[in-house]
Amino acid sequence: MNGNTALDIIMDRLARTSTDMRASALREMNLLMHTKLEKGPSPPWFLLQDKQASMVTVNGQEYVALPSGFIRFDDDNEVGGLFLYDSAITGPDKWKALTRSGYNKMQNYYYGEDSGSVPEAYDLVMERVYLRPVPDAVYQLRILAYFADVDCVDAASTNLWLTHADDVLVAETAGHMARVHLRNPELAQSIEADRQAARDRVYRAHVAFIESMKSREMGDD
């Protein structure tokens, strides 16, 4: 679905045509998307991304910047993390998984470490990835994690949310507009069933994407 179509539906559900309210609905849609939906307990599968381009170490510098839009790692499933490309590995998979540790713990452990070692551990502090041992060369990093989507716009363009969860965005925004802008609890309540149905559908799609075709045995998480 395109952004302009989503806003058309929201305005239809609110029975409004005001251009000012339409602009407010767009602002609220993006706020809800980047807070309630993306930073909730379970970001959806389509926000999992593989970032490499900007993740390059600097010789003698202990950190690299996190790619913009980082939300969190996927702790609940078997995908994601931080990896380092090690050309010394002879096998076809040269991506070495790094272990996350507390910054103070790894700083003390590797204190006085001679140069020449490939980084093995990392921690996230604010918007940086701190590495130990401190990189002694330029290394390519790779991060698989949840990242924020681009904003919705009132135009014939789309984003990941409008592609995979347009019903969630529409229902969340329409319900919020009814409660906060129109102060109409009856209208908000009438939208609630659609909101819950949309959230349930996306949750089931998320579980299906993560678990489909995996062979589980007793004792597996």
CA distance from start to end of the chain: 35
Range 148-165 burial, b when 16+ CB lie within 10 A, else e: bbeebbbeeebbbbbebb
Quote the DSSP letter at residue 36.
I
Q: Of 146, 179, 202, at which residue does a domain stop?
A: 146
Do 139 and 157 fall within a single domain? no
Q: Does 172 fall in a domain?
A: yes
- Can you tell me whether residue 155 is helix, strand or coil? coil
pLDDT at 74 over 90: no
pLDDT at res. 42: 82
pLDDT at res. 80: 84
Confidence of residue 2 (pLDDT cuts 50, 70, 90): very high
Confidence of residue 208 (pLDDT cuts 50, 70, 90): confident
pLDDT at res. 213: 54
pLDDT at res. 9: 98
Domain span at residue 67? 48-146
Q: Of 91, 126, 146, at which residue does a domain stop?
A: 146
Q: Of 127, 146, 165, at which residue does a domain stop?
A: 146
Q: Does 39 fall in a domain?
A: no
Do 94 and 165 fall within a single domain? no
Q: Does 32 fall in a domain?
A: no
Q: Does 122 fall in a domain?
A: yes
Number of domain units in the chain: 2
**CA quadruple 128, 131, 134, 139: dihedral positive or negative?**
negative
Quote the DSSP letter at residue 92.
S
Do 141 and 158 fall within a single domain? no
| pLDDT per residue as tens digits for the range 92-124 | 999 999 999 999 999 999 887 765 578 999 999
Query: Any residues with CB less than 8 A from the CB of 131 and at least 6 apart, and which?
Result: 57, 62, 63, 64, 98, 119, 121, 122
Do 153 and 172 fall within a single domain? yes
